[in-house]
Structure 1
Amino acid sequence: MKHTLIAMSLAALTFAANPAFAGEGSKHKDHKSVPAASHKADGRHDNGLHLGWQKQAWKRGDRIPLAELDPYYIDNYRVYHLSAPPAGYRWVRPMDDRYLLVNLATGLVADALGY
């Protein structure tokens, strides 16, 4: 009888404790593990927006700082099936499959292909 009473007490205690454990775990259920590198300096997460990584949609008439163009110049425009640039202009490839014809003196975009 004594063993039965102890077994019933332990069973009751186990069933009473389960909801407390379930409630504690459920508040962390929707939390996803996020690497520390994806957190901003102010401690917030960018929620997949990748702020600062947005691609620029250049269009005709925009001005591009010439310092940003140097690594993107296309020397052999025929490989990309582009026409010869006029004097003072140069083809630039800032992103895959997108090309800009830029005035080298002003940074003015004369033509934008693939945008």
Structure 2
Amino acid sequence: MFKKILFALATTTLVASPIISAQAQAQGYGPQHRNEQTRTVVKHKPNGRTVIKKQTVVRKPVASHRRWAKGQRFDRRYATNYRVVNNYRDYRLSAPPRGYHWVRSGNDAVLIAITSGLIGAVVGSAIR
């Protein structure tokens, strides 16, 4: 009895795996989904030989806009258009307390502790 169940499970797995793979590619989970591009390079040598190379280029996904919140740790790698704001009065921001400074992430102004990187305040759409 146990052998019959194992045999049925193995058969089902063998039959279902190509179907699931075809559905995944139909939904766009192929090389395009992973930002892969295959490129063919053809070089003609002076001795008459032709060299053909296929190169696969994988690009890392671009960081999208991140929503910052008070208490999070700020990481400038995830900030879009990161800049330190020295002229905070021009943007109608309050003077930063000692040990803090204002930075720009997209259109948001974020008050960050200099030593720890913790966010003290977020002002959305303050900078345009």
> Equivalent residue for 2:118?
108
Q: How many Å separate the matches in 1 of 2:77 and 2:62?
A: 19
Offset at residue 105 of structure 1 (A): 0.4
Q: Could you state the TM-score of these two structures normalised by the residue count of structure 2?
A: 0.46
Larger Rg, first or second structure (1 or 2): 1
2:110–2:121 contact (8 Å) kept in structure 1: yes
Q: How many Å separate the matches in 2 of 1:58 and 1:73?
A: 16
Q: CA RMSD in A?
A: 2.9
Q: Could you state the TM-score of these two structures normalised by the residue count of structure 1?
A: 0.51
Q: Which one of 61, 67, 82 corresponds to residue 71 of structure 2? A: 61
Alignment of 1:22-41 (within 5 A): 40-41=35-36
Q: Greater strand percent: which structure?
A: 2
Identity across matched positions, percent: 31
Offset at residue 41 of structure 1 (A): 1.7
Would the alpha carbon gap of residues 76 and 66 (structure 1) be closer, same or farther in structure 2, given more than 3 Å must change?
A: same
Would the alpha carbon gap of residues 88 and 100 (structure 1) be closer, same or farther in structure 2, given more than 3 Å must change?
A: same
Which protein has greater RCO, CA pairs closer than 8 Å, 6+ apart? 1
1:92–1:102 contact (8 Å) kept in structure 2: yes
Q: How many Å separate the matches in 1 of 2:87 and 2:62?
A: 31
Q: Greater helix percent: which structure?
A: 1
2:66–2:78 contact (8 Å) kept in structure 1: no
Unaligned runs of 5+ in 1: 1-38, 44-50
